[in-house]
Structure 1
Amino acid sequence: MIVAGGTYREICDNPPWDRFFGSGLRAAAAISELSKDVTLATYAPPEWAEDIAMSAASFGVKALITENLMPATFRYFHQLSTAELEYDGEVDIEPLRVEGDAVLRFGMVAGSAIVRAKYAVFDPQTGADPESFHSNGSVAEHLAIVLNGWEASQTTGLPPEEAGALILARENADVVIIKLGPRGAIVHSRGSSSVLVPPYRSDTVFKIGSGDVFSAAFAYYWAEAGLRPDEAADAASRSVAHFVDGHQLPLPGIEALHHGDAYTPRESPRQLYLAGPFFALGQRWLIEETRDILTSMGVPVFSPLHDVGTAKSARDLALGDLAGLNESAVVLALLDGADPGTIFEVGYARKAGISVVGYCEQLDALHLTMFEGTGCVMESDYTTAVYKAAMEAWSA
């Protein structure tokens, strides 16, 4: 397998993370024990080239590095925040040229890869205007396109659930996969009905690079192992669940993947109740951030701050909050600070049989007894808590 993609520095504040990876290096590392003779074609500034070559070699990957002058860095405040790109170099640089039986091509911050392949998988990984595989002269006998829901909507103007057939025809592709986050992925294959591939449970969620791993695993299982597109996508979904539980690389074979059961996504998600204090700026920021993230995942959120407000009597506030809680199927409770109102809402929810995911970094084990003892799922990692709550809302 040849992987053509960018190598970037990734920095995250919470949890702490500072590594050279990016889509190209991570994907090559992911399949390094599955595919024979993995080659990475990438760009790197001179000061990074030796480190990148050594990192690739540690996974048994041969790195073909074309030098560019400026490094590219993605910064995250947390893993679900929008990445900030730091790059001051030229975008239009000499393209890489890649030819092979099986090629995985990623869109890149700068430059491009012109591909000639028997089997090619293309993950555009671009912003407002995802590029066509063919636009730079790339050709493939068999082509699969992997996009997330936002990219699919941007390129077609359609809801992501409806975009696959148009992309399939427009790109003259054999396969189009549209990833839908906690809802799984829709696989569109030429001449076949679309198939929904479920997501799989994991104990923790390391989100950075999960899309890279999905594309890498799919490319291996479809282009080299010869699985049907839906089978390869299911193997990729399982591989992602294995990877995100601690950034586990390289991937083992299917039989050795460590993951939980599949979620069965619903036609539409159930309401989530966002419980947490909002009396100080930091508390208010966390409520706003979490609500925005959940909404972007398609989850309907009831937030007492937004849906009930504050300028009411204590009785009216309580009745309004509890009415929203009674209509919800899951609670995401932000528990740092042990806010009395939030703790009351958790107890009320468990008494009513409503699922609770609790997020807290600062409560010690002694203070978690009643939460854990009544069946709350308690997480100290923000991304893991948000994902588990969202997937519970989407789960049938």
Structure 2
Amino acid sequence: MSRDITVVGGVYHERCLQPAWDQVYGSAGRAAFTIAQLASGRVRLHGYANRKLQDRIAFEASLAEVELDLVETEQLITFDYVHTLAVPAITPAPVILRKLPNLVVENDVVIRYGMVEADVVVSARVAVYDPQSAFHARAFRENGSSAARLAVVLNRLELLSITGSDDPRVGADWLFEHDDAEVVVLKMGAMGALVVTPDAEHPVPLYASDTVWKLGSGDVFSSTFAGFWAIQGIEAVEAADLASRATAWYCNERTLPPPNAAGLRAGSATPIKPGKGRIYLAAPFFDLGQRWLVEETRLALIDAGAQVFSPVHEIGPGKADVVAPADLLGLESCDVVFAILNGMDPGTVFEVGYAKKKGIPIVALAENEKEEDLKMFVGSGAIIAKDFVTAVYKAIWSLPT
């Protein structure tokens, strides 16, 4: 059955320092391009956009057969990332961003994303809502939006912001009672996803990818879920599983759209079983750049659910006969070693060799090292990643189940 679909939300300029990225998408733009091939009817992208952004996105929209309905604004909103797990710098800063009038959307199927510059009031037969705001997320119906059928797709911080609880069952029950949601899909990063209905909870695995590209991966998950659940009528758990497969594909390819359902099912995606344990952070920390990377790595691993032993935090500086035994004792208590090999610091290389001798799995970040210099690491079974986020995820995935 042909259905008109509106995707509404932010359309923004996105830039990333490492790996390099300079594109115009935003959550709504990415979602529209993701679901275009899943829809038998018209797909319309609605939102605000500066003229420069409209010009940049127009060609891709024509190729994807996405109809643009962008309201012109003088504001050019940019999200800048150091890496794809980083908190972005938003320009203009949110505190001085000019708020624009609410958008009003009425259609058979609406996929609504949160926006930094405005709100969206929806009237739909079927709606999928991704709030896209960790600190000021609002319930779907709070602004007068309505839908006969509603799926809410969100992460734990958004669940906490809306419901007051980050417990999946408690938060989902709040959404069932107060937002009249039919299904809640909780995105849990490296731990996969959870589909919650009024009477059941269904875990959905994360699927492995050779590289991990997080900028927009949550958008791909929510929009692919929307395409299968709201447009094609696929049951929620299967739709979420297909969305997880599509997200792994996107992490590898960094392009859109992902394959259709048949293509995703036929792929060789490997589910990740969540593990638990402690990760030893082997890295130099002798200048500002090195220390910044240690801090960034430690926080990323903790946010992904791991315990971390970081020598500079746990032991600190000191004499060799005190520091070395304490560091190695900490290493022996860990399940995985995350090594930052940039610059081939002798202490870090020693710790990697020690871990290998002890049979502890090794994941290493080596951004600019020569292939010859990595030969012993690769030949002895260490997992080598050339970008930060991939290395973080590979370390999490190496924890024992």
TM-score, scaled relative to structure 1: 0.94
Counterpart of 1:196 in 2: which secondary structure?
A: strand
Cα distance in 2 between the residues matched to 1:160 and 1:58: 42
Q: Which runs of 5+ in 2 are unaligned?
A: none
1:146-295 aligned at under 5 Å gives the runs 146-162=153-169, 163-190=171-198, 192-257=199-264, 258=267, 260-266=269-275, 269-295=276-302
Q: Which runs of 5+ in 1 are unaligned?
A: none
Tell whether the 8 Å contact from 2:38 to 2:232 is kept in structure 1 after alignment.
no
Cα distance in 1 between the residues matched to 2:166 and 2:144: 28
State whether structure 2 residue 363 is matched by structure 1 residue 357. Answer: yes
Tell whether the 8 Å contact from 1:359 to 1:378 is kept in structure 2 after alignment.
yes
Aligned with residue 54 of structure 2, among 42, 49, 57: 49
Aligned with residue 107 of structure 2, among 77, 100, 119: 100
Structure 1 position 160, deviation (Å): 4.1
Cα distance in 1 between the residues matched to 2:378 and 2:242: 33
State whether structure 2 residue 63 is matched by structure 1 residue 61. Answer: no
Structure 1 position 155, deviation (Å): 2.5
CA RMSD of aligned residues (A): 1.7
Structure 1 position 181, deviation (Å): 0.9
Aligned with residue 15 of structure 1, among 13, 16, 19: 19
Cα distance in 1 between the residues matched to 2:162 and 2:143: 17
| 1:204-239 deviation line (CA, Å, top 9, x unaligned) | 111101111111001011111212211111111111
Tell whether the 8 Å contact from 1:34 to 1:251 is kept in structure 2 after alignment.
no
Seen in structure 2, the aligned counterparts of structure 1 residues 300 and 90 have a Cα distance that, compared at 3 Å, is closer
Counterpart of 1:245 in 2: which secondary structure?
A: helix
Partner of 2:144: 137
Tell whether the 8 Å contact from 2:281 to 2:338 is kept in structure 1 after alignment.
yes
| 1:245-296 deviation line (CA, Å, top 9, x unaligned) | 1312111113323563101124xx2111111111122111111111112112
Structure 1 position 99, deviation (Å): 2.1
| 1:279-335 deviation line (CA, Å, top 9, x unaligned) | 122111111111112112221100011111112x32332221122111211111000
Structure 1 position 154, deviation (Å): 2.4
Structure 1 position 351, deviation (Å): 2.2
Structure 1 position 141, deviation (Å): 0.6
Cα distance in 1 between the residues matched to 2:54 and 2:190: 36
1:82-101 aligned at under 5 Å gives the runs 82-87=87-92, 91-101=98-108
Could you tell me the percent identity over the aligned residues? 41
Structure 1 position 93, deviation (Å): 2.2
Partner of 2:305: 298
| 1:151-198 deviation line (CA, Å, top 9, x unaligned) | 1122233234443222332211001111111111111113x3111111
Cα distance in 1 between the residues matched to 2:313 and 2:335: 18
Structure 1 position 85, deviation (Å): 0.9
Partner of 2:325: 319
Cα distance in 1 between the residues matched to 2:216 and 2:389: 13
Tell whether the 8 Å contact from 2:362 to 2:383 is kept in structure 1 after alignment.
yes
Seen in structure 2, the aligned counterparts of structure 1 residues 206 and 112 have a Cα distance that, compared at 3 Å, is same
